[in-house]
Amino acid sequence: MTNDRRVLVHPDKKAMTGSVAARFLTKLVDILDEEETANVVLTGGTVGPSILAAVNESAARDSVDWTRVHFWFGDERWLPHGDPERNDTTVRTALLDHIDVPAENVHAMGASDAG
């Protein structure tokens, strides 16, 4: 992995999320060529799930062996499971519900109704 950084400017959100999704998918494939598993830390908000939706819509989505990818949540709202304001709800809707990722590879934070 290099520390070569560039600022890329895109004309709009759709172009930006599509570009990030393509780079994300390429990086995952590269990592999985070298390692047994890959770990991805997720965020909520609006841009993170929009990028994941672009991943879901990408023709390259199925080039990743999602059974070897672990998803971790970097932050979460203290709300009941399934609440539309929870990051795990938006992330599941954007991508996780559409790929073949084992449930044990999705490391969600506890919900307020979990007990």
At 1 the pLDDT is 57
SS3 of residue 45 by DSSP = coil
In tens, the pLDDT along 41-70 reads 998 888 999 999 999 999 999 999 999 999
Beta strands in the chain (DSSP E): 38-42, 69-73, 106-107
Instruction: Encode 29-62: b = buried (16+ Cβ within 10 Å), e = exposed.
Output: eebbeeeeebeeebebeeebbbbbbbbbebeebe
Domains, the chain, with CATH or none: 13-107 (3.40.50.1360)
Q: Of 42, 111, 113, whose CA–CA distance to 77 is shortest?
A: 111
Report the pLDDT averaged over residues 86-115: 94
Q: What angle do CA 11, 87, 70 make, to 5 degrees?
A: 95
Dump pLDDT digits (tens) for 23-39: 999 999 999 999 999 99
How far from 14 is each of 21, 41, 50, 109, CA to CA, in Å?
10, 22, 8, 29
